Chains A and B, each alone.
Chain A
Amino acid sequence: MTMSLMMIRRAMLIAFIAALIAVPWVVPALINKFWVSVIAEIMIWSLFAASVNLLFGYVGLLSFGQALYFGFGMYGVAIGISTFGLSFWPAFGLGIVASVAIALVAGIFAVRLTWHYFAIITVVFSLIFYFFAVSVKSVTGGDDGINFTLPPTFSFGGYTASFSNETFQYFFIFAAVAFCFFLMHRVIQSPLGKAFVAIRDNDTRAELIGLNVYQLRLIAFVMSGFLAGVSGALFAFFGRYASASYMFYHVSGEAVVWAIVGGAGTLLGPVVGTTLFIVIREVVSTHWEHHSLIVGVMAILVVILAPTGLVGLWNEWLARWSAREKVPATRTSLQSEP
């Protein structure tokens, strides 16, 4: 990659982060306050789509069951607060630990398989727990879910910070999601991340050069469960609510579409895909109830016309543009020859 390309990317990333930081002040002034919480929700669902992306885009495993880990993150928080009376941070921790633990259990079985078998077993796992969650109404509240009152996030002396302050809520979600994306970025650039991509590219070869493919897939699966669990816990805080309906495979499928349309195998692809579809949903659903038709048509178009997703398309376009920029220099050097 040339320097100018790297600089363009870096500048865009900084502008993107600056825009997100400005949201709580700029968006109410330009549109309305409601869109601040829509953007907060987009960040949470982007993280959920990133959990699909880590598995599919970097390890080559297509999971249709990520809602299970999202749901465990949600219920960890909700049950922690409403049943065990935990405060904010222990409840957050419980949600994450619960989703990582169930991801480890499911992963031990699931990563023995690949491709459609893997996709099927992840769906089956999430369905088992979905029906389980619906049936044990006394614990989970079933489809009605659990409502709870959110304890403060920080309190020292007389000062407390809690999600009842919408600006605090927004920045807490922003910080947590940004931190997870940063972690994922570090993993992708690390020796572990290179091994993930090697497995995605050619698993037989990966095994023959000495990579423990099963173990590495399991690590990726648990990491992906962690990302889904954090997003589920954040969503529980955000809605003060947990429900079995978020464990249904329909939720998993949406994340797969967001990740693939945005660009699987790129760090920010899931953010782009999630943003696009949630904005469409929010804008169109008030006027037209069949907004998912638009989503379906767009998903099909992107998969056919831009198999690397929107971010992949953008990267290709950038690369071509920077290659064209170099052409005049080559021409002048040719012209100097007789």
Chain B
Amino acid sequence: MTESVLIVEGLTKRFGGLTAVNKLNLSITSGRLHAIIGPNGAGKTTFFNLVSGLYTADGGRVLFKGRNITGLKPYEISRIGIKRTMQIKSVFPQLSVAENLWVTRNATNGVLHPFRSASSDHATRERVEFTLEQIGLTSLAHRAAGTLSYGDVALLEIGMALISDPQLLLLDEPTCGMSPAETSRTVDKIKILAQTIDIVIIEHDMEVVFEIADDITVMTQGENLVSGSPAEISGDERVREAYLGRPEDEDYVEEAAHA
């Protein structure tokens, strides 16, 4: 499959004098897990915020499966099938784990029934139970999400992405702040997800990136420095200079590439 699920053309976002994303061009191929890396402040999260509609672009456009989604509202983009997680874990803290999934499952319905009891919706309830098992949180189903451990919140976020049947999933540093055990658990989940869903992932952990990515894009100063396979990226001189330029870091990328 060489069909592009997401095409970004000349995308630009300025904050006052700062150009966070500068005429970014990018093509995400369907069926391949695409990682975006780059130093802090390279515009990675801004790029996600533009695609998901939280920010309005100052220029350029985003095409999702050939449809121009530039300027759509976040909920409209979500309903088209693009879902994302946040860098800082973001769930509904006072709702239970099951309710978090429940409300996510129903969020894309245009009309929410005002009087029918939510608990009488059997189809949704079964799907919630199924997802709870998938992410391994069945035993915590009735705990308020705000009381979960960090790793469990991350799993819940992935569950919320799963239950909404996304077509394209944007993961913003999913393993950030996780213990090694939690990281490997999350990486396993992402690998399984990637078999059926197109995923774009922002990640700082090079081990994770080189383990799961089919394609890598390196961003610097809001621009696409280079896109390519992990082997191409790890061998690219410009990447070394721009992103891993410091001598003490040089062997890191090679190490990761052979991991």
Residues of A within 8 A of B (CB): 183, 186-187, 189-195, 197-198, 200-202, 204-213, 216
Is A209 touching B104 in the complex (CB atoms < 8 A)? yes
B139 interface residue per 8 A CB criterion: no
Inter-chain CA distance A297–B86, complex, in Å, is: 42
B90 interface residue per 8 A CB criterion: yes
The residues of B that contact A191 with a CB separation of less than 8 Å are 103, 106, 109, 112-113, 116, 118, 121
Inter-chain CA distance A209–B99, complex, in Å, is: 13
The minimal Cβ–Cβ distance linking A311 to chain B, given in whole angstroms, is: 15
Inter-chain CA distance A189–B113, complex, in Å, is: 10
Residues of B within 8 A of A (CB): 52, 54, 73-75, 78-79, 83-84, 86, 90-95, 99, 102-104, 106-109, 112-119, 121, 160, 164
A187 and B115 contact, Cβ closer than 8 Å, known pairs A207-B75, A209-B104? yes
The minimal Cβ–Cβ distance linking B150 to chain A, given in whole angstroms, is: 17
Looking at chain B's contact residues, is the secondary structure mostly helix, strand, loop, or mixed?
Answer: loop
Which of A195, A204, A205, A207 has most B Cβ within 10 Å? A205
Q: Looking at the complex, which one of B78, B112, B113 makes contact with A209 (CB distance below 8 Å)?
A: B78
Looking at chain A's contact residues, is the secondary structure mostly helix, strand, loop, or mixed?
Answer: helix
Inter-chain CA distance A271–B227, complex, in Å, is: 62
**Given A192-B114, A197-B103, A198-B95, 5 more pairs with CB closer than 8 A:** A187-B115, A208-B74, A208-B75, A209-B104, A212-B73
Q: Looking at the complex, which one of B84, B93, B94, B118 makes contact with A208 (CB distance below 8 Å)?
A: B84
Task: Name the residue on A nearest B116 (C-beta).
Answer: A190
Is B118 touching A194 in the complex (CB atoms < 8 A)? yes
The minimal Cβ–Cβ distance linking B197 to chain A, given in whole angstroms, is: 16
Is A195 touching B86 in the complex (CB atoms < 8 A)? no
The residues of B that contact A213 with a CB separation of less than 8 Å are 75
Is A210 touching B112 in the complex (CB atoms < 8 A)? no
The residues of A that contact B108 with a CB separation of less than 8 Å are 209-210
The residues of A that contact B119 with a CB separation of less than 8 Å are 189
Is A204 touching B90 in the complex (CB atoms < 8 A)? yes
Q: Looking at the complex, which one of B83, B86, B92 makes contact with A198 (CB distance below 8 Å)?
A: B92
What are 24 A-B pairs with beta-carbon distances under 8 A?
A186-B114, A187-B115, A191-B113, A191-B118, A191-B121, A192-B113, A194-B99, A194-B103, A194-B106, A195-B106, A195-B107, A198-B107, A201-B95, A202-B91, A202-B93, A205-B92, A207-B54, A207-B78, A208-B74, A208-B75, A208-B86, A209-B78, A210-B107, A211-B103
Task: Name the residue on A nearest B124 (C-beta).
Answer: A191
The minimal Cβ–Cβ distance linking A166 to chain B, given in whole angstroms, is: 33
Is A205 touching B86 in the complex (CB atoms < 8 A)? yes
Is A186 touching B117 in the complex (CB atoms < 8 A)? yes
Q: Looking at the complex, which one of A195, A201, A209 makes contact with B94 (CB distance below 8 Å)?
A: A201
Is A206 touching B115 in the complex (CB atoms < 8 A)? no
Q: Looking at the complex, which one of A183, A200, A210 makes contact with B75 (CB distance below 8 Å)?
A: A210
Is B114 touching A187 in the complex (CB atoms < 8 A)? yes
The residues of B that contact A216 with a CB separation of less than 8 Å are 112
